[in-house]
Amino acid sequence: MKTLKLKYYKKKLNNLTDEKDIQLCKVNIIKNSSFFDKNYYKYTYKIKGNPFIHYLEKGYKKGYNASPLFQTNIYFDMYPDVKEANINPLIHYELYGKEEQRQPGTPVIDQGIYYPRKIIRFILRHIARIINFNKIRKNKHSKSLVILHLFYMKSVDEIIEYLKNLECYNYDLIITYIEGMYHKETLDKIKKFKPDTKFKKYNNKGFDIGPFIDVINNINLKKYDIIIKLQTKSTAKSTYSYKMFFKNRDWFLNLFNGILGSFSVHKTIDKLYNDTKYGIVAAKNLIINDPKYKQNLVRETSPIKPRKKNYTFIAGSCFAIKSKCLKEIKKENITIKNFDEVKRGIFTFGHVMERTICFIIENQNYSFFGNNVDFVRRLKYSKAEQKLQSLSTLNLYKIKDLKVDENTAINYMESNFKKSHKILYTTLKNIKGNKITKFITNKKTNDNIYIIINQDNEILNNSDTIKAIKEKGNDNTIIKVLKINFLTINLNNIKPFTNDIKQK
């Protein structure tokens, strides 16, 4: 709907002569631009009036950003002609810049380093084909579809080397990418590698999951035996996730080797094409279970409910799956419109569907198969992971280790957990019967606050409540600390405290 309105106002602007009408039309162009985030703008710059008018007339002159994806001064630096003409940069981009293939004022992302290593991979690829000759011959009639979400454009050369591992099989390729965050020469490189590749452009919504589901909704699943879902990963930073430490390139390599490595690719195709036991394949170490609080979030918000109490999913969402298993997703008629604009660090509907796509495998009585490609990383970082686990925000603490005073507990959390890579974000809505509800709903900034809850997701809003838990509970009673982000209050996942002390 926004796209249609944007086209309407852009066309209407050409026929206007009255200055007031022109200004109103420009306001509507900003309002319907996918690069203007109303909440971000209001909360970041504490704007009390109309944020669209403010950015049009004053905000851009002060260097205010329309959103994290459109930064005013970056656009001016890239295109000094726009700055000299004193044109609002977002208006210029929507009216002229997009058609001129100018890039929006998106902050430069450190994508890291990628190594195609063509010669080494060529040798390994052909050795693997000789060893797996029988599997290749057995599976030569299989048909796969690769759906690659290309966010980090710099990774394309190395990804092409992985796709070459599929050349002895029949496969189609669809590339999804983000409006304003792509390089034409990169897309041309893919087209040269595989001329029949299809490309689909999206607004930055739903991370890689939104575009993937949209593609699934618009293809004939019966045409394929296997769907291979890939996404790019930055190699610039190390990360610690699900008790695993990945240094720079480790995360990227783990995801791709788990499905499309020189040797693992043949096992991937064989397991899904011939084995009736398995419905999905990924790197073995990335087949994991969510902690309890995330499982509760997913159960409450997913359109499909997991049948298993402790569902399984694939961290990093790179996997190969039996095509017919995705019929359940297609039945839900989920579109890209159901997904929010990407905001890092917040548990969103995209994360919910990432898990849903995986646990439907268990719902249909299939199993997960894991390619064991992680042994080198484990050998290198096993000791580091043990140390990092003691700093993780996901750790649960017995009550005897937690101070009674709430502020002390929060300070304890801040001093210990800021060292870890992941900060736990969650969202909440309408915590009825709780004193903290009013404070949350009246919050005017995008600040975060630490909130203490017990193992049953019941919120503990003051030191008296914590004291009551301590007196009635025992050493096995668990309390954990959450960091709440106020920009996304949309999930009713936390319950008010009821005074019924539940113990493990």
Question: How far apart are the C-alpha atoms of 182 and 155, rounded to whole Å?
Answer: 12
Query: What does the pLDDT read at residue 458?
Result: 56
Low-confidence winner among 49-58, 181-190, 486-495 (lowest mean pLDDT): 486-495
Instruction: State the CB neighbour count (10 A cutoff) for residue 408.
Output: 12
255: tokens are: 């995801």
Residue 117's region, left for phi above 0, alpha for psi from -120 to 50, else beta, is left
Give me the mean pLDDT over the 94-101 stretch: 83
Does the pLDDT at position 432 exceed 50? no
Does the pLDDT at position 441 exceed 70? no
Q: Which residue has the higher pLDDT, 258 or 421?
A: 258
CATH, range 118-377: 3.90.550
Question: How far apart are the C-alpha atoms of 286 and 320, rounded to whole Å?
Answer: 13
Give me the mean pLDDT over the 155-171 stretch: 96
Going by pLDDT thresholds of 50, 70 and 90, the confidence category of residue 111 is low
Query: What does the pLDDT read at residue 433?
Result: 36
Query: What does the pLDDT read at residue 422?
Result: 27
Q: How many CA atoms does the CB half-sphere of 97 hold within 13 Å?
A: 22
User: How many residues would you count in the chain?
Assistant: 504
Highest mean pLDDT among 36-40, 268-272, 329-333: 268-272
Question: How far apart are the C-alpha atoms of 23 and 20, rounded to whole Å?
Answer: 5
Question: How far apart are the C-alpha atoms of 246 and 381, rounded to whole Å?
Answer: 8
Average pLDDT in the chain: 78
Give me the mean pLDDT over the 157-170 stretch: 96
Query: What does the pLDDT read at residue 42?
Result: 84
Give me the mean pLDDT over the 481-485 stretch: 45
Question: How far apart are the C-alpha atoms of 365 and 328, rounded to whole Å?
Answer: 13
Buried b / exposed e along 89-123 (16+ C-beta atoms within 10 A): bbbbbbbebeeeebbbbbeeeebbebeeeeeebee
Q: Using an 8 Å Cβ cutoff, are 485 and 448 in contact?
A: yes
Question: How far apart are the C-alpha atoms of 316 and 231, rounded to whole Å?
Answer: 8
Q: Using an 8 Å Cβ cutoff, are 374 and 254 in contact?
A: yes
Residue 48 CB-density burial (10 A; 0-12 exposed, 13-18 middle, 19+ buried): exposed
DSSP structural state of residue 88? -
Query: What does the pLDDT read at residue 479?
Result: 54
Query: What does the pLDDT read at residue 460?
Result: 54
Query: What does the pLDDT read at residue 305?
Result: 93
Low-confidence winner among 89-93, 364-368, 377-381 (lowest mean pLDDT): 377-381
- Listed residue (373, 424, 423, 421) closest to 239, CA to CA: 421
Highest mean pLDDT among 104-108, 443-447, 452-456, 465-469: 104-108
Q: Which residues contact 189 (CB under 8 A, 6 or more apart)?
A: 156, 157, 160
Q: Which residue has the higher pLDDT, 62 or 397?
A: 62
CA 316 to chain centre: 9
Query: What does the pLDDT read at residue 415?
Result: 39
Tens-place pLDDT, residues 144-154: 999 999 988 88
Question: What is the chain's alpha carbon radius of gyration, rounded to the nearest angstrom?
Answer: 25
Percent residues over pLDDT 90 in the chain = 41
Angle subtended at Cα 367 by Cα 363 and Cα 370, rounded to the nearest 5 degrees: 135
Does the pLDDT at position 41 exceed 80? yes
Q: Using an 8 Å Cβ cutoff, are 147 and 212 in contact?
A: yes
Buried b / exposed e along 390-399 (16+ C-beta atoms within 10 A): eebbbeeeeb
Give me the mean pLDDT over the 234-262 stretch: 86
Percent residues over pLDDT 70 in the chain = 73
Buried b / exposed e along 301-325 (16+ C-beta atoms within 10 A): bbebebeeeebbbbbbbbbbbbbeb
Give me the mean pLDDT over the 222-227 stretch: 96
User: Beta 170-178 vs 198-202: how paired, if at all?
Assistant: parallel
Q: Which residues contact 258 (CB under 8 A, 6 or more apart)?
A: 264, 281, 282, 283, 284, 286, 318, 319, 370, 371, 373
Buried b / exposed e along 201-226 (16+ C-beta atoms within 10 A): ebbbbbbbbbbbbbbbbebebeebbb
Cross-strand pairs, 70 = 67
Q: Using an 8 Å Cβ cutoff, are 251 and 239 in contact?
A: yes
Does the pLDDT at position 24 exceed 50? yes
DSSP SS3 for 137: helix
Query: What does the pLDDT read at residue 153?
Result: 86
Please write down the long-range contacts of 274-277, taking CB distance under 8 Å and 24 or more positions apart: 274/138, 274/139, 275/369, 277/366, 277/367
φ/ψ of residue 151, rounded to 5: -95, -50
Give me the mean pLDDT over the 205-219 stretch: 93
Low-confidence winner among 9-23, 78-92, 310-324 (lowest mean pLDDT): 9-23
Question: How far apart are the C-alpha atoms of 439 and 488, rounded to whole Å?
Answer: 15
Domain boundaries, the chain: 2-97, 118-377, 390-496
Residue type, 133: F
Give me the mean pLDDT over the 283-298 stretch: 86
Q: Using an 8 Å Cβ cutoff, are 395 and 272 in contact?
A: no
pTM over cut 0.95: no
Query: What does the pLDDT read at residue 382?
Result: 79
User: Beta 367-371 vs 278-283: how paired, if at all?
Assistant: parallel
357: tokens are: 């796509």
